[in-house]
Amino acid sequence: MTIGWCFDNTYYKLPNSFKENTKPIPVKKPELIILNKNLTKELNLDFSNLNNKEISEIFAGNSLPKGSNSIAQAYAGHQFGHFTMLGDGRAVLIGEHLSKKKDRYDIQFKGSGKTAFSRNGDGRAALGPMLREYIVSEAMHNLSIPTTRSLAVVKTGEEVIRETPLHGAILTRVALSHIRVGTFQYIAARQKKNELETLLNYVIKRHYPNIENSKNKAIDLLKTVLDKQIDLVVNWMRVGFIHGVMNTDNMSISGETIDYGPCAFMDTYDPKTVFSSIDQMGRYAYCNQPIITKWNLSRFAECLIPLIDQDQNKAIQLATEIINTFEKKYEEKWLNMMRDKLGLFGTDEKDKFLILDLLTWMHQKKIDYTNTFCHLMNFKIQKIKNYEDNIFQNWKKRWQKRLSTNNNTPEKYIKLMRSVNPLVIPRNHKVEEVLHEANQNNLKPINQLLEILNNPYTEQKNIIEYQTPSISNEKYQTFCGT
Ligand code: AMP
Ligand code: MG
């Protein structure tokens, strides 16, 4: 029995300026920490005939599978608003794997050693941040939010030096592709129109073949990516996800959530929530995420200008028209998403006020976002006196009145609410707890957490400690995890 790798490496065949051919740098003593069995099945891969040592050699990059052509991809990006040349500084794309259904997946090792793009970095990653990406990306997938996936984590048996020495690790990331807004920025900055055209056609063929024959492919790609990104950020807002580092190099053209550095989930509802220690100005705060999505899309539009129309003024006008549709589309989708969270069918012009009044109340009384919707679905997770408060009770009366319109029934609205309101999210203190244990070689807690996060919309027994926010008053902070 073979593993079932089926590589067909198309990015590798693009011009040399798009990437550097490079190999993962072998590591001393690879040790398998986690293998995502569900994902191996989706990819039609089978590792059951290999022992852990053999599996860890593969996911450490010590023995590359047949058919792999490993590369580091070139890209640029606006980091906190400033343009920089970047590229895979600690990642290697080992190839594109085709599942039996012919779905195409990038298989990338993150933390696999220095590349031509490493700048001053060591090309390596630490165990904690790689497991964090594994936990959160898989949680996002199970929350039905488009995301890159995590196939495996191995320890390298080598130390990485950060503020203190840490266990080195490599994450195998699976993505529809790793083409970012920053990839377009990199190629656009080279000012070679033929390269930009190559990238445009490549992306359309790979991700959006439905616009292959359109009259203005660049404009249609912009429209398509704008719609995808609106859907994505609405999903983030739905579950209280804060990406934390929405630089243009961390925005995927395929519409997947990518790059889990300082991300975290909001507990208490506060639109200004920021967890990342490096985001001093709150650029990537919860409530700014849609605004930044639009900002990033504007940078994407700028790259496409030469392909939109030969007349630059006309091209700018066309692109601006698309970008300016953002607010209206976002608002409509956000409103509908919030209606779903409240079980409201149809539309009522007062819905927006009903929704905003609930959010304002949560904000003022410092109430947990996730658990408030659980409360409204009759899952009493936390005993909170505030749910007895008058303002909330009056709000509930308005809500119930609105619920009774459009032939709604409790069965119908609870079903709708249950499909969009998670009963459990990766609570920050729980994530920290299991990472701490994993660093001490105790993998039981992380496996337990992953198991629970597999089914966030299903009622599970004895998980109250995973549903309750931390009682600590200390402000939670995340770090970039490099
Ligand atoms: P990120 O903050 O993960 O989006 O990374 C931003 C850029 O820094 C990317 O080009 C990464 O490849 C690069 N980078 C991050 N950490 C390292 C590292 N330890 N060594 C080399 N490059 C890195
Ligand atoms: Mg990145």
Any ligand 1 atom below 6 A from CB of 130 = no
Q: What is d(CA 376, CA 408) in angstroms, rounded to the nearest whole number? A: 16
pLDDT digits (tens, 9 = 90+) for 433-461: 999 999 999 999 999 999 999 999 999 99
Question: Is residue 352 within a helix (H) or strand (E), and if so which, with residue range?
Answer: helix 351-365
| Atom number of ligand 1 nearest to Cα 482 | 16
**95 - beta bridge partners?**
107
Q: Given this model, what pLDDT does residue 472 score?
A: 79
The band of 476, judged by pLDDT with boundaries at 50, 70 and 90, is confident
Average pLDDT over the chain, rounded to an integer: 97
Give the alpha-carbon dihedral of 56, 432, 419, 377, to 10 degrees.
150
Ligand 2 mean position, distance from CA 13 (Å): 23
Q: Which of 3, 82, 107, 86 has its CA nearest to residue 49? A: 3
338, 420 Cβ separation under 8 angstroms = no
Query: Average pLDDT, stretch 51-55?
Result: 97
Any ligand 1 atom below 6 A from CB of 107 = no
| Residue having the nearest C-alpha atom to atom 15 of ligand 1 | 482
> Could you give the angle at which helices 127-142 and 428-439 cross, rounded to 10 degrees?
140
The band of 478, judged by pLDDT with boundaries at 50, 70 and 90, is confident
Question: Is residue 378 within a helix (H) or strand (E), and if so which, with residue range?
Answer: none
Q: Given this model, what pLDDT does residue 435 score?
A: 98
Ligand 2 mean position, distance from CA 306 (Å): 26
pLDDT digits (tens, 9 = 90+) for 131-178: 999 999 999 999 999 999 999 999 999 999 999 999 999 999 999 999
Ligand 2 mean position, distance from CA 57 (Å): 25
Q: What is d(CA 101, CA 64) in angstroms, rounded to the nearest whole number? A: 24
Q: Given this model, what pLDDT does residue 1 score?
A: 65
Ligand 2 mean position, distance from CA 228 (Å): 19
Q: Which residues contact residue 221 at a Cβ distance below 8 angstroms, ignoring those fewer than 6 apart?
A: 200, 203, 204, 208, 211, 304
| Atom number of ligand 1 nearest to Cα 480 | 2
Any ligand 1 atom below 6 A from CB of 482 = yes
Q: What is d(CA 52, CA 40) in angstroms, rounded to the nearest whole number? A: 15
- Give the rounded distance of the alpha carbon of 231 from its chain centre: 12
Which of 19, 185, 482 to mutate for ligand 1's pocket (most ligand atoms within 8 Å of CB)?
482
Tell me: pLDDT of 481 over 70. Answer: no
Active-site positions read 249
Least reliable range by pLDDT among 82-86, 316-320, 380-384: 380-384
Query: Average pLDDT, stretch 120-128?
Result: 97
pLDDT digits (tens, 9 = 90+) for 169-200: 999 999 999 999 999 999 999 999 999 999 99
Higher pLDDT, 382 or 172: 172
Question: Is residue 78 within a helix (H) or strand (E), and if so which, with residue range?
Answer: strand 76-79
Ligand 2 mean position, distance from CA 278 (Å): 14
Q: What is d(CA 117, CA 123) in angstroms, rounded to the nearest whole number? A: 9
pLDDT digits (tens, 9 = 90+) for 246-300: 999 999 999 999 999 999 999 999 999 999 999 999 999 999 999 999 999 999 9
- Alpha carbons within 13 A on the beta-carbon side of 65: 24
Any ligand 1 atom below 6 A from CB of 80 = no
Give the alpha-carbon dihedral of 220, 223, 224, 227, to 10 degrees.
-170
Structure tokens at 105: 């997946």
pTM, 2 dp: 0.98
Query: Average pLDDT, stretch 195-224?
Result: 98
Q: Given this model, what pLDDT does residue 482 score?
A: 57
Query: Average pLDDT, stretch 460-473?
Result: 92
| Residue having the nearest C-alpha atom to atom 16 of ligand 1 | 482
Which of 86, 114, 127 to mutate for ligand 1's pocket (most ligand atoms within 8 Å of CB)?
86
